[in-house]
Structure 1
Amino acid sequence: MTVTLNACPAPAKLNLFLHVTGRRADGYHLLQSAFQLIDRCDSLDFAVREDGRIVRTNDIPGVPPESDLVVRAAHLLRETAGRPDLGASITVEKRLPMGGGLGGGSSDAATTLLALNHLWQTGFKRQELMDIGLKLGADVPFFLFGRNAFAEGVGEALSPLETASCWYVVIEPGVSVPTAIIFSSSELTRDTKVVRITDFPDATNQIASNFGRNDLEIVATRHFPQIAEAIDWLGKFGKARMTGSGACVFCAFDHEQQADEVLKQLPSRWNGWKAKAMQEHPLAHLLPS
């Protein structure tokens, strides 16, 4: 009998703010951010294989299997466990745009680590999975942390964060932003004043996306005017900003009806959708302590 886990969600994240506070000697940037989980998700199916092969069963345009973070995560988990006999078939249903700043690839990798740690019974604890995830990318540990977080360092130093129960309108401006272009730019601010988690607004008082700014936004909008156009349009309804290194743009609303009204007016040249804020990862029950 094949052992499976189907329709495993890989949620998107929003950066409610993103400050670049410095740069390490190795070139990595020091960041501060608030990571917000939302209920817009990719979906992954997993089936244990007996032949020791790791196979992605479907094509994803522009992402060959050997470079897919999902496949790399499965291999890394197996190697770290010292179990070359372990195998899996993985199907990935993409809803999150690539190069959108929503963390889709990192979230897919984290869901893979969570699901296969369970199916393969490799027994890694949460922090061990986060350490494995960091080797795949700076955003992966957040999705294994299991809940919203205040992030520091290169994004791996995480503290639990309560955030507002609200709705977001997210616009996809139709461009894919290579992260390297943003972080290598001479225009990037790298000395934003460090804030404390206690400076962040209490979730019960106001929507926290009004706090701070996204330091990467000014660079991204100069390279990709489509992002600036989306920010200007969505900014008519509230505080609009870019998430991550782009390209997606978001704005928070207290009520779902407000988000629906904005989406009714969305220009046809953009893809836009609403998402509800989540407080914890939908696979939190698979997270070992």
Structure 2
Amino acid sequence: MSQSTPPAAADALPPPILRDVPAPAKINLFLHVVGRRADGYHLLQTVFRFVGLADTLHFRRRDDGVIRRVTPIPGVPEATCLTVNAALALRRATGCRLGVDIEVEKRIPAGGGLGGGSSDAASVLLALNRLWGTGLGRAELQRIALPLGADVPVFVFGQNAFAEGVGEALRAVRLAPQWYVVIQPNAHVPTEAAFRAQELTRDTNPVKISDFPGSVARHSSAAGEEKVQDNVVGPRASDGAATQALGLPEYSFLGSFGKNDLEPVVFSRFPMVALARLVATQALRRSGGDTRSTVRMSGSGACLFVECASEAQALALEAEIAATMRQSNSAKDAIRAVTVCQGLDGHPLQHWAA
């Protein structure tokens, strides 16, 4: 049981119903596989950005200790659902004896590399920490989150972040305002299929925050010289301050910085994803948007995204892709859905934990 604040007494608990709790999607602006541990886990570097596409969760506290997901989710049995597992993990860590009914309104596509299940799990931890009165801090919630999945901690962290290791080393980054066109191919990519591939590149050279485009973090040395410092970072995982308040450099990834090392594997093994990228790339050229924009895959796929400098550019690209789908059966077969969403400055629940 955690040594932090003990569970609140029943008469001190908040009302038993908590509704409209958001669980936003994430996009990996780049994803580098830089090594592999002896236990088989891959060492990664990535920048996570939260976006406006989100699931919505509703909670009803139970006094009988039962934890259940009351919403059917196709292909996700309740026994293996991250939302249920997150609630169980929080209860094990705190000794809380309460239960909960969890409703999930899914909008984030499964198997898309957008972190939908991980985001749901993080929102469960943050919401039940309130609803059950368990009183854990952010760092404690992140420790509970990591065994649930490599992407879960960043959603608890609450800020756009540069992540390293297996997802546990998080550093806040401030990202320029951007819009995103998210393309969902007509394919489901199991994460294991991408990471277990023999042909996966696992030795990409590591990058530093000072390598990021758009801004350079500079500090004066004792001798009065201006020098670029490696890994000049914002708050660590235990800090909850908003990035804007810290005066962090603002980075823009509009363009071709970095890559997604999983793309060659996924494009070769899942032809619908490769075709969707081709359709989106051709539409991007015709749409007249920023010439620096590229089509990139998020996470292990299958979803693709294009970063745009304005909502108008994003909507123009969405319209061009839709027109292509009306004119081409192959494009229509390759792409299931296209969504325009705004990049967020931070997680909408970032102030729910300290």
For 2:203 and 2:352, locate their aligned partners in 1 and report how far apart those are by CA, in whole Å. 38
- Aligned CA distance change for structure 1 residues 69 and 209 (closer, same or farther; 3 Å): farther
For 2:255 and 2:46, locate their aligned partners in 1 and report how far apart those are by CA, in whole Å. 11
What is the match of residue 317 of structure 2?
262
- TM-score in terms of structure 2 length: 0.79
- Whether the 8 Å CA contact 2:175–2:251 is kept in 1: the answer is no
What is the match of residue 127 of structure 1?
139
Match of 1:242 among 269, 274, 297: 297
- Whether the 8 Å CA contact 1:162–1:202 is kept in 2: the answer is no
What is the match of residue 97 of structure 1?
109
For 2:274 and 2:76, locate their aligned partners in 1 and report how far apart those are by CA, in whole Å. 27
Q: Secondary structure at the match of 2:264?
A: helix
For 1:231 and 1:59, locate their aligned partners in 2 and report how far apart those are by CA, in whole Å. 31
1:163 paired with 2:165, answer no
- TM-score in terms of structure 1 length: 0.96
What is the match of residue 267 of structure 2?
221
1:281 paired with 2:347, answer yes
What is the match of residue 4 of structure 2?
none
Q: Deviations over 1:221-244 (max 9, x none)?
A: 001111111222222323111000
Q: Secondary structure at the match of 2:45?
A: strand
Equivalent residues in 2 for 1:44-193, closer than 5 Å: 44-83=57-96, 85-193=97-205
Q: Secondary structure at the match of 2:272?
A: helix
- Aligned CA distance change for structure 1 residues 51 and 2 (closer, same or farther; 3 Å): farther
What is the match of residue 278 of structure 2?
232
- Which stretches in structure 2 are left out of the alignment for 5+ residues? 1-13, 216-249, 285-292, 327-331
- Whether the 8 Å CA contact 1:17–1:209 is kept in 2: the answer is no
Q: Secondary structure at the match of 2:174?
A: coil
- Whether the 8 Å CA contact 1:148–1:280 is kept in 2: the answer is yes
For 1:90 and 1:12, locate their aligned partners in 2 and report how far apart those are by CA, in whole Å. 19
For 1:244 and 1:91, locate their aligned partners in 2 and report how far apart those are by CA, in whole Å. 26
- Aligned CA distance change for structure 1 residues 286 and 20 (closer, same or farther; 3 Å): same
- Whether the 8 Å CA contact 1:42–1:94 is kept in 2: the answer is yes
Question: Please, which moves more after superposition, 206-215 or 276-285?
Answer: 206-215
- Which stretches in structure 1 are left out of the alignment for 5+ residues? none
- Aligned partner letter, 1:247: A
Backbone CA RMSD of aligned residues = 1.4
CA shift at 1:253, angstroms?
A: 0.8
For 1:119 and 1:235, locate their aligned partners in 2 and report how far apart those are by CA, in whole Å. 45
For 2:106 and 2:98, locate their aligned partners in 1 and report how far apart those are by CA, in whole Å. 25
For 1:247 and 1:61, locate their aligned partners in 2 and report how far apart those are by CA, in whole Å. 18
For 1:39 and 1:22, locate their aligned partners in 2 and report how far apart those are by CA, in whole Å. 32
Q: Deviations over 1:238-260 (max 9, x none)?
A: 31110000000000111111111
For 1:73 and 1:150, locate their aligned partners in 2 and report how far apart those are by CA, in whole Å. 24
For 2:77 and 2:15, locate their aligned partners in 1 and report how far apart those are by CA, in whole Å. 26
Identity of aligned residues (%): 51
Q: Which has the larger radius of gyration?
A: 2
1:252 paired with 2:307, answer yes
